[in-house]
Structures are given as structure tokens and as C-alpha cells.
Structure 1
Amino acid sequence: MSEEIPVIPKVTSLTVHSGNIVNWNRLKRHPNHGATAEIAECIDSALKTYLDSADKTALQYETSLECKSTKFMEALPADERGDLKVTVKVFLCKLLPPSTLKEGIEKVLTELNITFIETVILALPELEEDEEVSLSVIQPYWEALEEMVEGERVLSLGIADLSKEQLEELYNWAKIKPGINQVNLESCCVMPKDLTEYAKQNDIQLLSHNDARDILPNEKLSEIIKTNTTEKDSDFWEMLWVMRYSVLIKCRGIIKTKAYITKCGRDTRRRK
């Protein structure tokens, strides 16, 4: 008898918790996998595990799924918290309501069973070809993050991929100044001199990264969902946001935990 294929015709929201991928043996075999491949594998694995054990009849009526790799979920021991530093990089895959940031960050806090995060770094999506990430685009998200700092849920803020002019605009406007600007060295092999000088003058760390701006293309997401369900159920999905968090053992400089929480959405009205 053939295995019943899960169908999810009403699902419009999919959240995936990878758990600590430092302990994923299959990812250990590919140490330079890259964020896009890691996220794809996390969604594929967690969704497959969830669907394999789900009631196939009940699935047909679900509107949202939250898939957790429980085997790899790890809260931080309270007695070790002082020795650990938690950093979250928020990838917005499209321009969403600022409350989205709080939703994702709160999920990280809950998952790790902690009350605050040392650093949150904001990565905004790539806009249309003729558009740049202006201060007016950044402001509502930065204000939401500032509220989390004021509420002592986050201690410091950073941002990714700003030029010297963009960073200066944000710095001059912001109530809570950016302490980090991540620069993608694939787009510039050497840090721009004006950016380096400005960052030095204002005590801003310049860090390099190699994360794709489109961290997981929607086509790849649909392909993953199609593999685990049906072609019809893979239509009209899009990535909404990704939270990548890491836990560093301060005195040893060792990554104790690395994990992803991702959220995807689907507009089923487009089927009509």
C-alpha cells in the first residue's frame, strides 16, 4: 500500500524552528554550507518530520503549521547565562509591519528561555532596482528595535549593508545608535575608506559577512514544500523573515549554539 501524501490546502503560515544545528551531523559534513543552504535544509527536515507524524486528515483543515526540531532544541542554563553572548541577525525577506521584528525576537527569547539578547542586527530586503534602502524605510523598524532596547529585551543594535551615507543618516537620526554595520565583502572586496573612517570616528564596528541579500528565494521555498507535500500545495509561498541566532561562550570564543527560526506565508486567494 502506497504511503499517503500529506496535503495542506488551507495552510497560509509556516514557522520552522531548526534547533541547534551545531549538533546536526549532516550539516557538520558541510562546514561551509552557507546560510541559504542551511535554511533550506532546516525547513526541509523540520517540515518532513512534522508531516510524517501528523494526522493526515487533520492536516487538511490546518491554517498554520509550527514545526520544531525538538531533538535539537536547547534552552540556555540560567547558571551559565553570564558566560554567554547571544546575537540575533534578523533577515526581513520583504517589507513587513515592524511588529514582525518583535514577534521573531520574542520567539528566540522564549526558545532560549532568556530575558534579553546582547545584540540584534537588522538586514533589510533588497528593494526594486531603482530603489535604495533610505532612512524612511529603516526608521519604523529601528523604532521597533529601540522599544525592545528600552524594554531591556535587547542590549545593543546593529545593521547590515549600509553605505557611509546611509549609516551616517541612521546614526544622526537614531535615539539608540547602531554599534555594528555588517558589510558583504562579495560586493566589495575591501571595506570602503569613507565607511571605515566614519565607523572609526563613531565607534561603530565594521564586520564582514557573506549572507545572500535574498536569503532563501521563494522558488527554492516552493520546491522544498513541493517535495514534502504536493505541487498544488507549493504554490504562492514566500519567505517573510528569518531569525538566525548564535550563542557564544565569551571566554573561549566558541559557538555553543547556532539556530534558525523562519516564517513563510502563502496567499491562497491567488488560486482563484
Structure 2
Amino acid sequence: MADEIPVFPKASTLLIHTGNIVNWDRLKHKPNHTPTEELSECISATLSTHLKAADKNALQYVTLLDCVNFKFKETLPSEEREDLKLTVKLFLCSLQPADTIEEAIQRVLTELNVTFIETVLIAFPEFEDDDINLEIVKPYWKILEDFVHREVVLSVGISDLDKNQLEELYNWSEIKPVINQVNLASCCVMPKDLVTYAKENDIQLLTHNDPRNILPVKSLQDVIAQNSTEKDSENWEPLWALRYSVLVKCRGIIKTKGYIMKGSKDIKKRK
């Protein structure tokens, strides 16, 4: 008998929390995953688990599809918190309202049951002119600064700024970036002017291999189609995705790693 196609709700919002993926067997067997492939795999597994376990009748009336992989969900024990370092990288899939940052950070705090995050990094999507300018960054950075003032976030950083962009942000901001991530796929050698400027201003340069658009629209729609039907996948788009990682300070190993993602469906396009 063919597998029954899961009921997919007429939801307009999708939230995914993968839980801790460090020990996922399905990922261990695919060590060369790109970040996009890994995220898509994690979304698919979490969505599939939720749809199969959900009450089919109730599912039809859900408007917010909130999928948490409870089998792998872990909170951070308060008695171990001082020995752990939590880092969050927030990927904006498009230029959402600036309070998107607040929503995403609050979600991490709730899901992991913590009161603060050591470091939050923000990554902007790729624009047509491939230019991240200060006016785009400002409203988002202001919200990050507010989190720092409230001691909910201890330090902040950003991805993919060149020397001039980083200097503009540094000079304008009240809370200075402590990290700038550089994708070596776009520059095989760290630019000398960027290295010099970062050193002079105590900014750590870290390399990464995350694409600017970590979750393309098609990737999300493909995942939904794989777990329901092609029709169900139409008009969905990712709003933001974040990756959190928890490092055991004294041992330098990753204890926890997971993803949280939010997507929406444009109901105006429904037929």
C-alpha cells in the first residue's frame, strides 16, 4: 500500500525547531552537506515528524504550523550554564521588519530556556547590487543594541562586510561589532585592508561557508512538497532562519546545534 499523504493545514505561517541535531544519524551519513542542504534536511525531518504525529482532523484548521522536534529538543541546564557558550547566527531571508530580530531571539531564549545569549551574529541576504549599506543595517542593529543594553545578548557581530562597510558600521554604532564573518568562497585570501582595520579595532575575523541566501524559496517549497503535495508547497517563502550552537568552554566541543526557521504563505496568491 502506498504511503498515505499527510494532511497539510491551510496555515499561513510555519515555525520549525529542529532540536539538537548533533547526534542525528541521518546527518552523520551525509558529512559533506552544504549549509543549505543541512538546513533543508532538518526542516524536512521536523516537518515530517510533526505531520505524521498530528491529529488529522485538528490539523486541517491550523493557521500557525508550529513544529518542534520534541525527541531532540534540549534546554540548557541552569547548573551548567556558566560552562557553556551560546552563539546564534540569524539569517534574514529577505528584508523583513526590524522587529524580526526580536522575535527570533525571543524564540531561542524560550526554546533553550535561557536568559541570555553570549553572541548574536546577523547575516543579510544577497541583494541585486551585492551591497550591504549602513542604512539597511541600522534598524536591525538598533534592536541588537537594545538586547545588549538589557544584558540579554552579551556581544554582537555581522557577516560579509568589507572594510569600508565594517568601518561605517563601527563608526556609527553605539555597541560595536566584535565579529565580522568572511566567506572565503568569495575571497580566497582575507583582504589586507580588512585584516588591518579589524586588528586596530579589536574585531575578530572569522571565516564561514554559509551562502548569503541559506534557504532559497525553492528549497523551502521543495521540502514542503516532499512532505505533502506540490499544491501545498505553492506560495511559501522563508522569512528568517537561525542556527544556534552551544560550545562547552573548557573542552572546546559543540554540545548542541540546531535550527529555528519561520516561513509564511502569501494567502493572496491562493487560488
For the aligned pair, the TM-score class normalised by the smaller chain equals over 0.9
Contact residue 8 and residue 62 of structure 1 kept, 8 A: no
C-alpha offsets along residues 12-35 of structure 1, whole Å, 9 cap, x if unaligned? 111111111001111122233232
Gaps of 5+ in 2: none
Q: Which residue of 2 aligns with 1:87?
A: 87
What is the CA–CA distance in structure 1 between the aligned matches of 2:143 and 2:10, rounded to whole Å?
A: 31
How far, CA to CA, are the matches of 1:187 and 1:201 in structure 2? 24
Give yes or no for contact 1:7–1:230 (8 Å, CA) kept in 2.
no
Where in structure 2 are the equivalents of 1:171-190 lying within 5 Å?
A: 171-190=170-189
What TM-score comes out, normalization by structure 2 length? 0.97
Show the counterpart of 1:26: 26
Aligned residue number for residue 199 of structure 2: 200
CA distance, structure 2, for counterparts of residue 216 and residue 125 of structure 1: 10
The separation in 2 between residues aligned to 1:34 and 1:219, in whole angstroms, is 16
| Secondary structure, counterpart of 2:210 in structure 1 | coil
Asked if 1:36 corresponds to 2:26, the answer is no
Matches within 5 A, 1:74-223: 74-128=74-128, 130=129, 132-223=131-222
Residue aligned with 1:22, SS: coil
Per-residue Cα deviation, 1:101-134 (whole angstroms, up to 9, x for no partner)? 1111111111111110000000011112x35211
Letter in 2 for 1:190: V
Q: Could you tell me how far apart the structure 2 residues matched to 1:32 and 1:111 are?
A: 28
**Identity of aligned pairs, percent?**
62
1:196-219 CA distance string (max 9 Å, x none): 000000000000000011101111
Contact preservation (8 Å) 1:218, 1:238: yes
Runs of 5+ in structure 1 lacking a partner?
none
**Cα distance in structure 2, aligned partners of 1:270 and 1:119:** 38
Normalised by the size of structure 1, how large is the TM-score? 0.96
Q: How much is the aligned-residue C-alpha RMSD, in angstroms?
A: 1.3
Aligned-partner SS, 1:70: coil
Question: Could you say which residue in structure 2 is the equivalent of 1:57?
Answer: 57
Residue 145 of structure 1 aligns with an amino acid whose one-letter code is L
Q: Find the residue that maps to 2:31 and give its secondary structure.
A: coil
Q: Does the 8 Å CA contact 1:10/1:268 hold for their aligned counterparts?
A: no
What does the per-residue CA deviation read over 1:29-53, in whole Å, with 9 as the maximum and x for residues that have no partner?
2233232111101111111111111
- Residue 174 and residue 220 in structure 1: after superposition, are their counterparts in 2 closer, same or farther (change >3 A)? same
Letter in 2 for 1:248: L
**CA-CA distance at 1:231 after TM superposition:** 1.5
